[in-house]
Amino acid sequence: MWRNFVNFTNKYKIIRGMISYGTLWPCGSLIEQTLIEKRTFQTYDWMKCVKFSLFGFFFMGPTIYVWIRLAGIMWPRTDIKSSLCKAITEQTAYDPMAISSFLFFMTLMEGNTYEMAKKEVSNKFFDAYKVGVIYWPCVQTVNFAFVPARNQVVFTSFFSMCWTTFLAYVKFLQLHPNVDVDHHAVDIHFLEM
């Protein structure tokens, strides 16, 4: 059975990323709920985790797979110069779409209106993007330069889980502005990841 699964994911490589993102994104939500909201197993918001999983599986997995394939065609070499080009292009072309989509669709999945989802993107996009401008080029330069193409989506999905934890953190703080959190300790924690 395991061999059939491996053969299936080797034949349809997009499935690897979908499974990876569908699994790791709710883990990012659980990390945020544990560290920031101080929840435990009995008090986790499991529906929030399901929403993160659905978004990771159906949106992030396929779109990052397509982006990495496209970047590989545009810059087929794996040297540092090509990797930097891929990372910078991703930051200007892919990441704004991914961040906006996350904020928009997660807001809709929370049961909010289209107008509220637009406002969510308007209010939170730039703050998230400013952090992403530093974070993602570093991650993706390493990814494109040193990770074999067949494992690039999975490599990216781990760092995406860290990124998702950050996005969940930003979203939680803006929903609960009176929560007493040591922001410097949390920011340093994210930089260490």
Using the predicted structure, report yes or no on whether residue 41 has a pLDDT greater than 90: yes
Q: What is the pLDDT of residue 180?
A: 55
Give me the chain's average pLDDT, please: 86
Mind listing the pLDDT tens digit for each residue in 132-146?
999 988 898 888 888
For 61-78, write each residue's pLDDT tens digit. Answer: 999 899 888 988 988 887
Percent of the chain clearing pLDDT 90 (strictly above): 49
Calculate mean pLDDT across residues 102-124.
93
Whether 185 shows a pLDDT value over 60: the answer reads: no
Where is average pLDDT lowest: 33-37, 46-50, 74-78, 116-120?
74-78
The span from the CA of 100 to the CA of 98, in Å, is 6
Higher pLDDT, residue 36 or 192: 36
Return the pLDDT at 81. 86
pLDDT tens digits, 150-170 = 888 778 878 988 999 999 988
Residue 77 confidence (pLDDT):
84
> Domain ranges in the chain?
1-191
State both tokens at 85. 């080009």
- pLDDT for 179: 55
- The amino acid present at 134, given as its one-letter code, is I
Q: Region 72-97: what's the mean pLDDT?
A: 86
**Token pair for 127:** 């703050």
Q: What's the mean pLDDT in 6-12? A: 85
Query: Residue 188: which pLDDT band, with cuts at 50, 70 and 90?
Result: very low
